[in-house]
Homo-oligomer: A and B are copies of this chain.
Amino acid sequence: MTSTWYLSEKTDESQILSSRVRLARNIKKYPFRQMLSKDSAEKLIRETLSAVLNERTALNSLYRSINMSEFNETEQKVFVEKHIVSPAFVKDAYPRGLLLKDDENVSIMINEEDHIRIQTIMPGDGLSDTYELASRMDDLLEESVEYAFDKEYGYLTSCPTNTGTGLRASYMIHLPALEKTGHLKGILPAIGKFGIALRGLYGEGTESLGGIYQISNQLTLGKSEIDIVASLQNVTKFVIDREKALREKLMNQHRLEVENNIHRAYGILSYSKKMTAKEAMDLLSEVRLGYQTGLLDLPKPNKRIYQIMMEIQPGHLQRMAGQELSEQGRDAMRAEYLRNVFR
């Protein structure tokens, strides 16, 4: 089996944890999601899957079709926490289909907000490759289904904000220095002018944890895909340069303070008996900063920080425990997991 993308050490190397691309597409012969009956939705899934997964298509061997309704709540949470599907995708009982590639770097959601959402994700800084992969998937799908497309507007989507390229490109970035010093708010208007937004860990409306943010384009219309990707790359570079400058400043002016926080975080992660997800994310953020700045010379945990951040989320913990857990139960389980990973 192919190793999943998030096991790569690239997720820990820079301020960028992962690069992600999402393409919103709709099938011409079906009404948009808002007008689609459940029966038609089921039919759409069946048709799309059989069109895509058959002996003639290149997708057949690498992808598995997943029926979300066969998974319990915990397993659905795991999909969300891995960023394979959106939180909205598992929220109600509407018929949904999912195609997932072996190494989990391509997922295709059927009947999310749009009929089809192609998502590609790669470790670290690799947005151009990630876009190319999504684009290839898009071409392969188009061999089997006819998209709703308008010569003037481009790809038509359920929500007009996605019409045009249907592209959302995003990085997951780690900005502990900008967050801690309160300088993050100051740069939001500047990046907003370029049609770029910062969001929380799980996208729109979710909170940021451990200094981790999604930075992504807001505009999909009137710009080419290449321009959207390039613009996000430039703005992200600007944000990361600010983060680096602030880290430098913190290390020069408050080195012992920073070092102390980082080392204490390591100690607390290594020995706690209970911990909330929020605290764990904050401490992991310190440790990640420690390794990147070289201030932390203690043995690395036996997993990537990114992977740890994912596996301490409720769904992953419950899957690990093999049962539903209360909040207290999760806090204890999380601490146990962290002790094992750090010691």
Residues of A in contact with B (beta carbons under 8 Å apart): 256-257, 259-260, 263-264, 266-274, 298, 328, 332, 335
Contacts and interface: CB of A to CB of B under 8 A. Distances in A.
Interface centre among A260, A266, A269, A328 (most CB of B within 10 A): A260
A264 B266 CA distance: 11
A272 B265 CA distance: 9
17 contacts: A256-B274, A256-B328, A256-B332, A259-B273, A260-B272, A260-B273, A260-B335, A263-B272, A264-B268, A264-B272, A264-B273, A266-B271, A267-B267, A267-B268, A267-B270, A270-B271, A271-B298
Contacts of A332: 256
A274 B257 CA distance: 8
3 residue pairs, one from A and one from B, having the closest CB atoms: A267-B271, A267-B267, A260-B273
A-side interface mostly: helix
A118 B315 CA distance: 66
A306 B178 CA distance: 42
B272 A267 contact: yes
A269 B263 CA distance: 10
A300 B264 CA distance: 19
Interface centre among A256, A267, A298 (most CB of B within 10 A): A267
Contact of A271 (B257, B263, B274): B263
Contacts of A274: 256-257, 260
Nearest to A259: B273
A296 to B, nearest CB: 10
B260 A264 contact: no
Contacts of A273: 256, 259-260, 263-264
A264 B256 contact: no
Contacts of A260: 272-274, 335
Interface centre among A264, A266, A274, A335 (most CB of B within 10 A): A264
